[in-house]
Amino acid sequence: MDFSSKLLENAVNEMSQLPGIGKRTALRLVLHMLKQPQEQTQRLSESLQQMREEINFCKNCHNISDTTLCEICANPNRNEKIICVVEDIRDVMAIENTSQYKGNYHVLGGKISPMDGVGPGELNIASLVEKVKSGDVEELIFALSSTMEGDTTNFFIFKQIEEYPVTTTTIARGISVGDELEYADEITLGRSILNRIPFETSLKSS
């Protein structure tokens, strides 16, 4: 792709680094921003810079937050004895949109995937195990996507905590095998949360 401007080329190259954005889409977006009032582009730039510099991760659940403790963990009406284990913030948002879950979360930051170089040490698993060891957790809900990586991560965590008195469940398989949680519709996801099953049962049926 030939560019008449090095500045334009640099902007397109940076934009195309985003997931799902190819060079042609990046060019279209950059040209669109070029047509907008300078103030609008400035606001976009400043909001991204501010987010990058000031964003926090909740010290309790690792969710993205504006403060050291996210709104969910700080809410006294949430049941902190029930923890839903998810991959990332997109899954938290998906489950919250169902309005069917009133416990807390634990964001792992990914799934175990040796092919991608992601092992247990790269995820927020140790802090989850410590929560269970403290005795303050009554139930862990595994809500990772129904993929090989998701199931591997569930099983790894289960083996770490099986000696402790905590109930382990998994969302019902209304979510199709291979589906990512964030793409499930709210009704199906809500029912899967409400109709969760013992994790040991899901192992036998796999």
- Here the CATH number for the domain that contains residue 10 is 1.10.8.420
Torsional sign, CA 19, 120, 55, 185: positive
Residue 175 has pLDDT above 80, yes or no: no
How many domains does the chain divide into? Answer: 2
Which two tokens mark 132?
């269970």
Structural domain boundaries, residue 191: 58-205
Cα 137 from Cα 124, distance rounded (Å): 17
Give the CATH number for residue 119.
3.40.1360.10
Same domain, 159 and 97: yes
**What is the β-pairing status of strands 79-86 and 103-107?**
parallel
Same domain, 181 and 79: yes
CB 52 within 8 A of CB 30: no
User: Is residue 86 assigned to a domain?
Assistant: yes
Task: Report the pLDDT averaged over residues 38-64.
Answer: 95
CA-to-CA separations, 132 to 42, 44, 71, 159, 198, in angstroms, rounded: 46, 41, 22, 12, 17
Question: Tens digits of per-residue pLDDT, 115-146?
Answer: 889 999 999 999 999 999 999 999 999 999 87
Same domain, 41 and 72: no
Q: Residue 177's pLDDT is what? A: 43
Cα 127 from Cα 108, distance rounded (Å): 9
Residue 187 has pLDDT above 60, yes or no: no
Q: Residue 174's pLDDT is what? A: 52
Which two tokens mark 6?
């090095």
What helix, strand, coil percent values describe the chain, rounded to 5?
A: 50, 15, 40
The helix or strand, by DSSP H or E, that contains position 76, with its residue range, turns out to be none
Which two tokens mark 5?
């401007």
Question: Tens digits of per-residue pLDDT, 67-115?
Answer: 999 999 999 999 999 999 999 999 999 999 988 899 999 999 999 999 8
